[in-house]
């Protein structure tokens, strides 16, 4: 028998990992609320802004996630997470000293390098602590870090920018992460691998397989193929919206960064955290009662439900209409995270979990985080000569069709799960 892990220990570990995930999204998403003042200060184009917030960050974040995950499947995951938090927090604080586009780009790449070592080992630890029937809820709690990060980043970043400037905002949100890194290193205990799946018995000793073995396993699994594709496509619009909607509200509707940050902290931070948690609970409930196919089906339904409201937001003539049309999509925008993360872990053997999570995150971040914000910035520059500042509206609307595509893959994954029983 392995030593029993108490519920208190599980919950504390999950709490600290939520803090870690929150810190990563504070540092990642603050570019949304600071985008317009950075553009005006450094005299950069929307395409360059898309590079800062999207593809260059994502390439390094996603690519380095692979070797980090392989390391995590073989070594101490806690220590890797601690080092990663320390690195990205320091790089975020240094962004405040950037004198030009190139310097800021290099520092944002540094943030991406740091964040690469956090998510795969976090997913693996959670899967080791919580059994399959509780995993979507646990992943939902973990996923609220996205929303708390946006809440803090937008609220603090928006008002600090108005009072002291965007450079100070980077320093203020970056430095607390160093304390979180210390907390991880000295208070978390590494759980035995496969603990939850062994149901309290001594977990079997497993040897992590080669990287390409995991790739072949995922490529051969039709459910995993559809879940990975769906998550990447929904993330495309999600990341694009989180970065560009604040800029859209500042640029086109004349709002201040503090005001925008306050509203979006409420909509995405509080509303989104409630949405992702309830979505995870609902997915766990329906999958336990009616079958695992409801994990992806819940996300498909939620994704389509938010689509018309995004259209209304991007085309609204009045500030009030744009704001309140965005409230529902903001609350539902991260519901896909928990069921998707849980399904990746459920469909993958214990010894492959960190690498499988990294492969999923690689594809999600290249397509979602990388191409989403960049695509909006690119098309905004394309449409601006003809439509002026409204070019950003059309840049945002290019992302909407991708939601339907992603919802189809979630529906397909659910159908495959249903017929595999």
**How confident is the model over 12-50, as pLDDT tens digits?**
999 999 999 999 999 888 998 999 999 999 999 999 998
**pLDDT interval class at 275 (50, 70, 90):** confident
Q: What is the mean pLDDT of residues 299-319?
A: 93
Which is more confident, 200 or 143?
143
**pLDDT interval class at 4 (50, 70, 90):** confident
Output DSSP code: residue 188: -
Looking at residue 1, its pLDDT comes to 44
Structure tokens of 258? 């503090």
Looking at residue 378, its pLDDT comes to 94
Contact in structure between 298 and 279 (CB atoms under 8 Å): yes
Structure tokens of 211? 């990287």
Nearest residue to 171 via CA among 160, 180, 159? 160
Looking at residue 202, its pLDDT comes to 58
Q: What is the mean pLDDT of residues 219-227?
A: 93
Q: Tokens 């035995």 belong to which residue?
A: 192
Name the most confidently modeled range: 189-193, 267-271, 338-342. 267-271
Looking at residue 421, its pLDDT comes to 61
Structure tokens of 156? 């603090």
Domain ranges of the chain: 7-419
Looking at residue 283, its pLDDT comes to 76
**pLDDT interval class at 355 (50, 70, 90):** confident
* From 7-16, 195-204, 407-416, the region with the lowest mean pLDDT: 195-204
- Topology of the domain comprising 7-419: Growth Hormone; Chain: A; (1.20.1250)
The CA distance from 333 to 273, in Å, is 10
CB burial class (10 A; 0-12, 13-18, 19+) of residue 7? exposed
CB atoms within 10 A of CB 270: 15
State yes or no: pLDDT of 396 exceeds 90: yes
Tell me the Cα Rg of the chain.
20
Q: What mean pLDDT value characterizes the chain?
A: 88
* From 68-77, 190-199, 283-292, the region with the lowest mean pLDDT: 190-199
Q: What is the mean pLDDT of residues 59-76?
A: 77
State yes or no: pLDDT of 136 exceeds 80: no
Q: What is the mean pLDDT of residues 400-417?
A: 93
Which is more confident, 173 or 334?
173
State yes or no: pLDDT of 198 exceeds 70: no
Q: What is the mean pLDDT of residues 387-406?
A: 94
For 191, left (φ over 0), alpha (ψ -120 to 50), or beta? beta
Tens digit of each residue's pLDDT (9 = 90 or more) over 74-131? 778 899 999 999 999 999 999 999 999 999 999 999 998 888 888 888 888 888 888 8
Looking at residue 205, its pLDDT comes to 60
* From 143-152, 219-228, 336-345, 386-395, the region with the lowest mean pLDDT: 336-345
Q: Tokens 């570019």 belong to which residue?
A: 31
Contact in structure between 296 and 287 (CB atoms under 8 Å): no
| Residues 6 or more apart in contact with residue 185 via CB below 8 angstroms | 78, 79, 82
| Residues 6 or more apart in contact with residue 93 via CB below 8 angstroms | 170, 171, 174, 175
Q: What is the mean pLDDT of residues 252-274?
A: 91
Looking at residue 343, its pLDDT comes to 84
State yes or no: pLDDT of 199 exceeds 70: no
* From 38-47, 139-148, 159-168, 279-288, the region with the lowest mean pLDDT: 279-288
Contact in structure between 349 and 357 (CB atoms under 8 Å): no
């Amino acid at each position: 028998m392995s030593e029993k892990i108490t519920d208190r220990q599980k919950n504390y570990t999950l709490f600290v990992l939520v803090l870690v995930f929150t810190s990563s999204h504070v540092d990642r998403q603050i570019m949304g609320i600071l985008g317009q003042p950075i553009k005006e200060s450094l005299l950069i184009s929307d395409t360059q802004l898309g590079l800062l917030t999207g593809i260059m960050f994502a390439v390094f974040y996603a690519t380095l996630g692979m070797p980090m995950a392989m390391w995590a499947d073989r070594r101490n995951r806690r220590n890797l997470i601690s080092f990663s938090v320390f690195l990205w927090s320091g790089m975020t604080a240094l962004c405040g000293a950037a004198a030009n586009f190139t310097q800021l780009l290099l520092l944002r790449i540094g943030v991406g390098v740091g964040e690469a070592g956090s998510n795969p080992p976090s997913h693996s630890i959670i899967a080791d602590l919580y059994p399959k029937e509780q995993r979507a809820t646990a992943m939902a709690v973990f996923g609220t870090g996205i929303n708390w990060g946006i809440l803090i980043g937008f609220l603090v970043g928006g008002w600090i920018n108005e009072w002291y400037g965007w450079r100070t905002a980077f320093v203020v949100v970056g430095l607390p992460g160093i304390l979180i890194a210390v907390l991880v290193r000295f208070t978390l205990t590494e759980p035995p691998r496969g603990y939850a799946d062994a149901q309290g018995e001594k977990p079997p000793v497993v040897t992590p397989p080669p990287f390409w073995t995991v790739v072949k396993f995922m490529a051969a699994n039709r459910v995993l193929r559809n879940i990975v594709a769906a998550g990447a496509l929904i993330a495309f619009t999600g990341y694009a919206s989180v970065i560009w909607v604040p800029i859209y509200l500042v640029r086109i509707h004349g709002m201040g960064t503090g005001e925008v940050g306050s509203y979006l902290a409420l909509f995405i931070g509080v509303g989104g955290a409630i949405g992702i948690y309830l979505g995870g609970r609902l997915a766990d409930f329906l999958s336990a009662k009616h079958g695992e196919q409801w994990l992806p089906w819940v996300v498909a339904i939620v994704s389509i439900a938010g689509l018309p409201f995004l259209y209304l937001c991007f085309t609204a003539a009045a500030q009030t209409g744009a704001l309140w049309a965005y409230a529902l999509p903001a609350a539902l925008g991260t519901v896909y995270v928990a069921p998707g993360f849980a399904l990746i872990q459920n469909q993958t053997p214990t010894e492959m979990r960190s690498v499988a999570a990294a492969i999923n995150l690689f594809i999600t971040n290249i397509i979602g985080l990388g191409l989403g914000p960049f695509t909006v910035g690119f098309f905004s520059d394309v449409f601006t000569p003809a439509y002026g500042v409204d070019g950003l509206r059309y840049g945002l609307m290019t992302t909407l069709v991708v939601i339907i595509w992603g919802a189809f893959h979630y529906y397909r994954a659910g159908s495959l799960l249903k017929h595999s029983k």
